[in-house]
Amino acid sequence: MKKVKGWIDLQVNGYMGTGFSDVDLTKNGFVRACREILSSGTAAFLPTLITSSEETYEHNLPMMA
């Protein structure tokens, strides 16, 4: 088993101005934020949404999955 060094973050609501609960979140913005998180010393993380509108859940969750 390969050992990976880094932090494990169980709740990440966004990164560097990209909010995972923003109704206008784009796939490119989400991917960019994920790459930046992983390049900053985090080995694994769970992207999360704060309490939001149904519209936000319908837009963001499929993209994040």
- Name the amino acid, one letter, at 45: F
Report residue 49 as tokens. Answer: 């949404």
Beta carbons of 64 and 30 less than 8 angstroms apart: yes
pLDDT at 2: 73
Q: Length of the chain, please? A: 65
Reading the chain (65 residues) residue by residue, the pLDDT tens digits are 777 788 899 999 999 999 999 999 999 999 999 999 999 989 999 999 999 999 999 999 999 99
Query: First-to-last CA distance in the chain?
Result: 26
pLDDT at 21: 97
pLDDT at 33: 97
